[in-house]
Every structure is written in C-alpha cells, then in structure tokens.
C-alpha cells in the first residue's frame, strides 16, 4: 500500500506562494486532520497522549471541524491561486507592464466572478447542504451549520 504524504508549510505574511500551498494542502487533507484530531482528543490516536494533549486536540478540533473553517478554507483555496498567479507576474525578472496590467484585469474579473458564483473548492465543500435537516457532509465529515455560520462564510467570501 502506498501512502501519499504532504507537508504543511508554515505560511509567511508576505509569501503568497507558501500561503497558497499551505491552504491547498490543508484543504486536501482536512478530512484526515479532523479524523486524527478526533482520535487524539479521545486518546484513540496512534501516539500515547496525555490529558493535556487530548484537551489541546479537542480545542483545535472544535475550531477545525466547523462549517466556518472549511468554508473559509474552501474559499481561500479558490482565491489564493488567482493571487499567486498575479504575484508571480510581479516577480518576473523582466517586468512587462502590459502583461502585469492584463494580469491585474484578469485577476479582478476572476475575483468578481467568485463573488457571484462558487469556485471549484467552494462548490465541493459548501454546495451540498440538505435544507430538510440542515445537515451538510464535507469530504465525509458531517457538519450542522447554523444560519450564523453560513452568514459568516458568505461575509468572509465578500471580504476575501
């Protein structure tokens, strides 16, 4: 059996590329992260955990296993690649103002389109709420978003 491994990079404030990579990697492995945190929080993880470590895992789990978290992560997964592409355009050795200008226009148009319709990751993560019971399954993890958390994600989308 071959296991796929990913490294979560530590994003830096000014490094779009590392932030984009960290967010996309976390989005891809979010289900595994939630499962590992659930196991660590209950003491069923692979590592022997202390009560303090279990409490820490539970605290992180309570933040990560929310509609707001996965919704924000999905939106960032759609938005950051656009900003990364723009950032790369500015980092060129031979800066071409016409190219940068067109990149700015394309990026702005793409981001405005995302305000009106869902991006790929956002559709995958947020496009499946069952209105009958307000249950929502994301990557195999069941969530029950409140009206407040749905509004928070919508507000974050506009802000991003």
- What are 30-70's pLDDT values in tens digits? 999 999 999 988 887 666 668 888 889 899 999 999 888 99
Q: What pTM value is reported for the model?
A: 0.76
What is the CB neighbour count within 10 angstroms for residue 19?
A: 20
Look at residue 133 and tell me if it is in a domain: yes
Q: Count of domains in the chain?
A: 1
Look at residue 26 and tell me if it is in a domain: yes
75 — phi, psi (to 5°)? Answer: -65, -45
Look at residue 1 and tell me if it is in a domain: no
Instruction: Determine the 3-state secondary structure of 130 from DSSP.
Output: strand
What is the CB neighbour count within 10 angstroms for residue 60?
A: 15
Of residues 150 and 57, more confidently modeled: 57
Look at residue 5 and tell me if it is in a domain: no
Look at residue 9 and tell me if it is in a domain: no
Look at residue 7 and tell me if it is in a domain: no
Look at residue 10 and tell me if it is in a domain: no
What is the mean pLDDT of the segment spanning 109-123? 82
Look at residue 155 and tell me if it is in a domain: yes
Range of the domain at 126: 16-159
């Amino acid at each position: 059996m071959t296991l796929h491994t990913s490294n979560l990079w530590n994003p830096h404030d000014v490094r779009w590329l590392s932030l984009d990579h960290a967010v996309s990697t976390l989005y891809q492995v979010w289900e595994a992260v939630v499962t590992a945190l659930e196991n660590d929080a209950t003491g069923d993880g692979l590592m022997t955990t202390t009560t303090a470590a279990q409490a820490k895992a539970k605290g992180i789990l309570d933040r990560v296993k929310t509609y707001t978290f996965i919704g924000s992560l999905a939106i960032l997964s759609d938005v950051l690649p656009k900003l990364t592409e723009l950032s790369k355009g500015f980092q060129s050795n031979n800066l071409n103002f016409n190219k940068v200008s067109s990149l700015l226009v394309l990026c702005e148009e793409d981001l405005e389109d995302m305000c009106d319709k869902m991006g790929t990751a956002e559709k995958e993560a947020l496009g499946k709420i069952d209105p009958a019971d307000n249950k929502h399954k994301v990557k195999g993890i069941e969530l029950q978003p409140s009206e407040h958390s749905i509004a928070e994600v919508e507000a974050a989308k506009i802000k991003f």
